[in-house]
C-alpha cells in the first residue's frame, strides 16, 4: 500500500507497533520481554551510594538500581524524581536523569528549563507566531518551560492548546510527588501504541485489527531485520553484528570493482544505517568498518552521515575516525534489541 500505515497489535502478548511507508517497514516498537523500567517512566528514587571518582550516584528503584551521572550535592537516603533515559545492559543499573521531560504529540513541558520555545524545524514566521500565541495562553507566567514540537505545525489551535495544558497539569502533579521514604513508580513510560500516536505524525491509515501485522507484512519484514546481513543498492552489502561491547558494522562493495565502488557502497550504508539500527533496537558504541575509499572522500561521507542521523528519531553522536580507519558512533539505548525482544 502507498502512503504511511501505522499498524498496532500484539506479539506474544506484548503491545507492538510498526510503521510502513509505501509498503516498506520504517520503524518498529515492542514492549520489553520482562517487567523492567521503561524509557520515559518517572520514579521517586532513593539515593543509595555515591560513586567516587565518577561523580555519579547509585539510586534505589522499586525494580532494582539506577545510575545518575550528576550526583554532586546528593546524600544517601535523599529522595528525588528521576526519569528513565534508556534500557540498561545486562547486569548494569538503569540510566536515569534528574531532569524529567513531559512529552506529548504537540508539546514538551520542561520543568527544569523555563521559557517558551518553538521547534526550529518550523521555519515559517507566521506559523511560529501563531503557535507562540497558543503557548502563551496556557504557559505565560508559569515556572515550567515549554517546547512546541514540529508536529504542531498546521494543527488545530484548540488541539494544540489542549495537549499543552494536559502535559502541564501532568507535570505539576508529578513534580509535586518527590518526597517519600520509599522508591515508587510515579508515571509509567509510554507503551508502543502511545509512542506510535505521539511520534508517527499523520499516518494515512491506522490498522489495529487482530491481523494487522500479518496483513501488512510486518512479521515477514522483521525476519529480515533479525539477520545480520543487509543487501544494499548496487550490489553492496553490510553486516550489522551486536557484540557485548559494541555494535560492529562491516561494509562490502560486492561485485563492483570500479574506482568509486568504496564511496558508493559507503554512501548507501549511511543512508540505510539509521533505519537498521532503529528497527533492530541497537544502541551504545557503534564501530563502522567502511569499504576502502580515498581520504579526500571522508568529508562527503561525513556530511551524508550527519544528514541521515539528523533525520532519525534517536540521538546519535558522530565521534570520529580511529587510527585504523574505522568510524565510531555513540547512540542512545532507547529500545530493546530486536534479537531479545521476541
Average pLDDT over residues 277-281: 95
Residue by residue, DSSP assigns 39-59 as: TT-EEEEEEEEEETTTTEEEE
Contact 298, 272 (CB under 8 A): no
Q: Identify the band that residue 51 occupies on the pLDDT scale cut at 50, 70 and 90.
A: confident
Q: What is the pLDDT of residue 81?
A: 96
Q: What is the pLDDT of residue 341?
A: 52
Q: Is the dihedral of CA 33, 39, 42, 48 positive or negative?
A: positive
Q: Identify the band that residue 244 occupies on the pLDDT scale cut at 50, 70 and 90.
A: confident
Average pLDDT over residues 155-182: 94
Distance (Å, whole) CA 340 – CA 311: 26
Q: What are phi and psi of 229, to 5 degrees?
A: -90, 135
Which CATH topology does 226-341 take?
Aminopeptidase (3.40.630)
CATH architecture of 102-175: 2-Layer Sandwich (3.30)
Q: What is the pLDDT of residues 289-301, one digit of tens each?
A: 999 999 999 999 9
Q: Identify the band that residue 146 occupies on the pLDDT scale cut at 50, 70 and 90.
A: very high
Residue 135 has pLDDT above 80, yes or no: yes
Q: What is the pLDDT of residue 312?
A: 93
Between 111-125, 263-277, 326-340, the lowest mean confidence (pLDDT) is in: 326-340
Percent of the chain with pLDDT over 90: 81
Average pLDDT over residues 162-180: 94
What is the CATH code for 42-98?
Answer: 2.40.50.140
Q: What is the pLDDT of residues 100-131, one digit of tens each?
A: 999 999 999 999 999 999 999 999 999 999 99
Cα distances (angstroms) measured from residue 329 to each of 140, 270, 287, 289, 307: 40, 12, 6, 12, 14
Q: Which uninterrupted H or E stretch holds 107?
A: strand 107-110
User: Could you report how far apart the first and last alpha carbons of the chain are, in Å?
Assistant: 26
Q: Residue 18's beta-bridge partner residues?
A: 7, 28
Q: CA 25, 27, 33 angle in degrees (round to 5)?
A: 115
Distance (Å, whole) CA 29 – CA 189: 13
Distance (Å, whole) CA 260 – CA 234: 12
Residue 73 has pLDDT above 90, yes or no: no
Of residues 286 and 244, the one with the higher pLDDT is 286
Distance (Å, whole) CA 29 – CA 278: 9
Instruction: Give the other-Cβ count within 10 Å of 319's Cβ.
Output: 13
Residue 308 has pLDDT above 90, yes or no: yes
Q: Identify the band that residue 91 occupies on the pLDDT scale cut at 50, 70 and 90.
A: confident
Nearest to 47 by CA among 216, 228, 178: 178
Amino acid at each position: 500500500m502507498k502512503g504511511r500505515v501505522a499498524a498496532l497489535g500484539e506479539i506474544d502478548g506484548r503491545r507492538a507497533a510498526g510503521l510502513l511507508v509505501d509498503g516498506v517497514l520504517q520503524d518498529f516498537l515492542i514492549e520489553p520481554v520482562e517487567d523492567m523500567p521503561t524509557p520515559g517512566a518517572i520514579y521517586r528514587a532513593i539515593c543509595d551510594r555515591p560513586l567516587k571518582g565518577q561523580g555519579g550516584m547509585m539510586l534505589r528503584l522499586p525494580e532494582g538500581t539506577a545510575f545518575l551521572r550528576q550526583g554532586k550535592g546528593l546524600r544517601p537516603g535523599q529522595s528525588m524524581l528521576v526519569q528513565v533515559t534508556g534500557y540498561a545492559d545486562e547486569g548494569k543499573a538503569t540510566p536515569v536523569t534528574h531532569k524529567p521531560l513531559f512529552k506529548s504529540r504537540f508539546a514538551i513541558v520542561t520543568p527544569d528549563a523555563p521559557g517558551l520555545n518553538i521547534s526550529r524545524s518550523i521555519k515559517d514566521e507566521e506559523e511560529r507566531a501563531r503557535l507562540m500565541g497558543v503557548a502563551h495562553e496556557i504557559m505565560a507566567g508559569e515556572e515550567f518551560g515549554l517546547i512546541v514540537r514540529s508536529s504542531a505545525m498546521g494543527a488545530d489551535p484548540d488541539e494544540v492548546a489542549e495537549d499543552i495544558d494536559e502535559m502541564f497539569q501532568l507535570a505539576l502533579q508529578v513534580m509535586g510527588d518527590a518526597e517519600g521514604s520509599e522508591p515508587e513508580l510515579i508515571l509509567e513510560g509510554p507503551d508502543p501504541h502511545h509512542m506510535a500516536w505521539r511520534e508517527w505524525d499523520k499516518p494515512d491509515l491506522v490498522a489495529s485489527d487482530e491481523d494487522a501485522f500479518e496483513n501488512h507484512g510486518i512479521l515477514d519484514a522483521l525476519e529480515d531485520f533479525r539477520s545480520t546481513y543487509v543487501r544494499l543498492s548496487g550490489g553492496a552489502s553490510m553486516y550489522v553484528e551486536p557484540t557485548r561491547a559494541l555494535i560492529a558494522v562491516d561494509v562490502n562493495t560486492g561485485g563492483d570493482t570500479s574506482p568509486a565502488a568504496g564511496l558508493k557502497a559507503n554512501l548507501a550504508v549511511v543512508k540505510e544505517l539509521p533505519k537498521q539500527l532503529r528497527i533492530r533496537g541497537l544502541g551504545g558504541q557503534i564501530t563502522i568498518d567502511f569499504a576502502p575509499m580515498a581520504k579526500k572522500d571522508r568529508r562527503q561521507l561525513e556530511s551524508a552521515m550527519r544528514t541521515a542521523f539528523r533525520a532519525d528519531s534517536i540521538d546519535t553522536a558522530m565521534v570520529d575516525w580511529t587510527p585504523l580507519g574505522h568510524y565510531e558512533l555513540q547512540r542512545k539505548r532507547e529500545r530493546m534489541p530486536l534479537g531479545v525482544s521476541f
